[in-house]
Structures are given as structure tokens and as C-alpha cells.
């Protein structure tokens, strides 16, 4: 069989300007091909919707084992997690991780989460102006996850920084990654040392230790599961909630649609995720020479999955660069797909639907300053978003 090499682009996926606004780069790469070789990143980027979805569903060809991060140190550090393993080991680790995160396990939390979101949004509307990232996008998921895991005190204060570092180090070994390794190490250290007694009785965190004690999960794994909850779930949820405020705030017509029909909250969340996925790039490794859309990715190659490029693929979504809440793109790529599909998506939905619901009930319009972004390797999120004025509902 003759093989055709993919097109090549002189792009660094982790350059500051690309991280702040990757969309022009995504469009360029997508037009070059479904697979584009990026020598600067020593990787093959997947850029179009269909090939991304197929790769995410095919763990045998696109392995996660030692392959999700873009530097060897992080891949080594993630060894033995469900994130960085393939079936059959993955199946067991995943079951332990998701036991407390499935919608059925979280059902009891829905009411509390909605009340919290409503109280927080009510307070901010009352204030009339606020900084939305600290006051809402960070504050709300931290409160939810702190209650869920059952931690208090200084750990809670450290969590945004720890969560951010845990994602940052998944990038290539650039300055951002080097600076964040010690901070990510603090989170890992805390999770390795935490005991059942440190966590509130009745919390999910305490439950994970109880599961370990009765042998439902292997000895010594409770801390790792808590590490995954915090490492994977904090920074991404903060990004998603910040994006909700920024996107619905900047588009009063779209907010108005949700205000008129509150059942559109889940559709609005799907569209916000499609439009601005919290995760920029995620790794896999090709286990064999694989032909994708007429070109060959050589066995052993690093593969970079660009969720945001797939989500804006005009071959799959009409007018992909428009934010339209009624589109309800249930098949967006932002939670991944298949065996490694986001384990915390049920919780993320509960939180996001609660925030969208509260905003749509209490806000007619927001007057926003332009968002401030700081380049970040993996999580693309807003760093500061000033709400200058709230027009209450």
C-alpha cells in the first residue's frame, strides 16, 4: 500500500497568540487537511469533526496510554490513571472514578446546586457590577466541588491555582509548564496525604475512602481518584462558566431566547461548549500506521486532538462561527467522546444549567468590558471579565 504524507504547517499550537485566539489557526489547519503534521510540536493535529470523533471512539488505534500529555514528565506522572490508560485496565479505573459522578449518583445534589447558583447570581445582580470570573466562574464550582469532596480551609483557597497548574503541565515543556510543575505537585502531594478524617462526613470524598476501606476499589487509590476530580474538574468547569457569562452577556438576543424558554438552558450550554471548548488540545498516540482521510499517520506518532477546530467544522455545523443557542449541538466534541468521554460531565451539566437558569431568571442584559485572557497551554479560559452593569430582569 502506498502511503500519502499529511500536509505540514509551520504552526506551534502552544504559542501565546495561538492560545489566546486559536480560531484563525484552527481554520487554517482545517482547510489544509483533516490531519496536519506540525513539526514544531512533533505531532499530527486532527482538525475536522469526523476524524476527531472517530479517533476518540477508537482507543485501539489512538491510545491514551502514556499519551495524553505533550511532555514525557506529565505522561509519566499520569501513569495508572484512567485518563492515561486503555481498556481493559481503563475500564476498572474508570468505574471507580465515575461511581460517584454519574447522573444517578448526583441526583440528590441537583436542588442544592440550583439553590447555590441562584443565591450567588441574586447577590451579584444586587451589587450591580462585579468581576465575573472570580465572583462567579471560580466561586461557584469551587463551592460545589468543596462540598462534594468535603474539604475546607486552606485547601479551598489553593484549589483554583492547583487546578490551573494541573492542566497547564499537560502542555509541552515550555516555561508555563516548567513553572506549574511544582504547583501541580502541591495538589498531588495533598491528594496523596489526605485521609478520610480530613473530609466532611457524608461527602463524596469520604465515600471514596469508605469504598477503599471495604475493598470496592484497590488499596491506595482513593487519593488518586480525588486528585483526578480536582485536577480535571476544577479548571475546565471554571472556564465553561466564565464562557457562559461572556457569551450570553455579549449576545442579549441569545440570552433573551433562554429567558423566554428556560428549557433551552441545556441547549445553550451545549452551544457555549461547542463555541468555546474549555480544552484546546489533548494527546493520543497512533498504535499503528493509520490512514485517516487519505493520508497516513505513522505508527508511534503523537496525535493532537483539536476539539475547537472540530466544533467549528463547516462540514458538520452550519454557520459554525455563530453562537446560536437553539442549535443545541448535542454531539459537540468538548467533552470528548467514547471510553474517555469526560467523566465529570454530569456534574458540569448540573452546575452550568443551574448558572444559565439563574442568569436567565434574574438578568435581562449585562454590560461587559472586553474579556482579558492569559495564554494557557491546555485550558482556554477567561482570566478577567468585568460586568460593568447588570440590567436586572
Residues in contact with another protein by CB under 8 A are 57, 91, 95, 98, 102-105, 107, 330-331, 335, 337-339, 341-342, 345-346
Nearer to another protein, 40 or 110 (CB): 110
Nearer to another protein, 25 or 270 (CB): 270
Min CB(91)–another protein separation in Å: 7
Nearer to another protein, 91 or 129 (CB): 91
Name 268's Cβ contacts closer than 8 Å, sequence gap at least 6: 244, 248, 254, 257, 258, 325, 356
Nearer to another protein, 135 or 354 (CB): 354
Min CB(350)–another protein separation in Å: 12
SS3 string of the chain? CCCCCCCECCCCCCCHHHHHCCHHHHHHHHHHCCEEEEHHHCEEEECCHHHHHHHHHCCCCEECCCCCCCCHHHHHHCCCCHHHCCCCHHHHHHHHHHCCCCHHHHHHHHHHHHHHHHHHHHHHHHHCCEEHHHHHHHHHHHHHHHHHHCCCCHHHHHHHHHHHHHHHCCCCCCHHHHHHHHHHHHHHHHHHHCCHHHCCCCCHHHHHHHHHHCCCCCCCCHHHHHHHHHHHHHHHHHHHHHHHHHHHHHCHHHHHHHHHCHHHHHHHHHHHHHHCCCECCEEEEECCCEEECCEEECCCCEEEECHHHHHCCCCCCCCCCCCCHHHCCCCCCCCCCHHHCCCCHHHHHHHHHHHHHHHHHHEEEEEECCCECCCCCCECCCCECEEEEEEEC
Residues 62 and 179: their CA atoms lie apart, in Å, by 30
Nearer to another protein, 75 or 345 (CB): 345
Nearer to another protein, 313 or 371 (CB): 313
Nearer to another protein, 103 or 300 (CB): 103
Min CB(125)–another protein separation in Å: 31
Nearer to another protein, 33 or 336 (CB): 336
Min CB(22)–another protein separation in Å: 23
Min CB(346)–another protein separation in Å: 6
Min CB(191)–another protein separation in Å: 23
Min CB(46)–another protein separation in Å: 17
Min CB(344)–another protein separation in Å: 11
Amino acid at each position: 500500500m502506498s502511503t500519502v504524507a499529511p500536509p505540514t504547517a509551520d504552526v506551534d499550537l502552544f504559542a501565546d497568540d495561538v492560545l489566546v485566539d486559536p480560531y484563525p489557526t484552527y481554520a487554517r489547519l482545517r482547510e489544509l487537511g483533516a490531519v496536519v503534521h506540525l513539526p514544531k510540536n512533533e505531532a499530527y493535529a486532527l482538525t475536522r469533526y469526523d476524524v476527531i470523533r472517530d479517533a476518540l471512539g477508537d482507543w485501539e488505534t489512538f491510545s491514551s496510554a502514556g499519551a495524553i500529555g505533550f511532555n514525557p514528565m506529565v505522561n509519566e506522572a499520569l501513569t495508572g490513571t484512567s485518563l492515561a490508560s486503555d481498556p481493559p485496565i481503563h475500564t476498572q479505573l474508570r468505574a471507580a472514578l465515575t461511581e460517584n459522578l454519574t447522573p444517578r449518583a448526583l441526583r440528590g445534589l441537583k436542588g442544592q446546586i440550583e439553590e447555590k447558583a441562584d443565591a450567588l447570581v441574586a447577590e451579584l445582580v444586587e451589587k450591580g457590577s462585579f468581576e465575573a470570573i472570580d465572583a462567579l466562574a471560580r466561586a461557584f464550582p469551587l463551592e460545589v466541588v468543596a462540598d462534594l469532596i468535603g474539604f475546607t480551609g486552606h485547601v479551598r483557597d489553593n484549589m483554583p491555582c492547583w487546578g490551573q497548574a494541573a492542566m497547564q503541565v499537560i502542555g509541552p515543556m515550555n516555561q508555563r509548564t516548567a513553572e506549574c510543575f511544582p504547583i501541580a505537585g502541591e495538589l498531588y502531594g495533598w491528594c496523596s496525604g489526605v485521609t478520610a478524617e480530613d473530609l466532611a462526613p457524608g461527602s463524596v470524598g469520604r465515600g471514596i475512602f469508605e469504598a477503599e476501606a471495604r475493598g470496592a476499589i484497590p488499596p491506595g487509590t482513593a487519593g488518586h481518584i480525588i486528585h483526578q476530580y480536582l485536577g480535571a474538574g476544577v479548571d475546565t468547569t471554571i472556564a465553561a462558566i466564565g464562557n457562559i457569562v461572556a457569551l450570553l452577556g455579549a449576545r442579549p438576543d441569545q440570552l433573551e431566547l433562554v429567558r423566554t424558554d428556560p428549557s433551552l438552558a441545556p441547549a445553550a450550554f451545549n452551544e457555549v461548549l461547542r463555541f468555546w471548548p474549555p480544552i484546546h488540545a489533548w494527546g493520543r498516540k497512533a498504535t499503528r500506521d493509520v490512514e485517516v482521510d487519505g493520508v497516513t499517520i505513522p505508527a508511534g506518532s503523537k496525535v493532537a486532538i483539536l476539539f475547537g477546530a472540530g466544533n467549528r467544522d463547516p462540514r458538520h455545523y452550519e454557520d459554525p462561527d455563530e453562537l446560536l443557542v437553539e442549535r443545541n449541538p448535542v454531539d459537540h466534541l468538548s467533552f470528548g467522546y467514547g471510553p474517555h468521554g469526560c467523566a465529570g460531565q454530569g456534574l458540569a451539566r448540573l452546575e452550568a444549567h443551574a448558572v444559565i437558569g439563574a442568569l436567565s431568571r434574574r438578568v435581562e442584559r449585562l454590560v461587559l468590558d472586553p474579556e482579558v485572557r492569559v495564554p494557557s497551554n491546555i485550558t482556554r479560559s477567561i482570566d478577567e471579565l468585568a460586568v460593568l452593569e447588570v440590567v436586572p430582569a
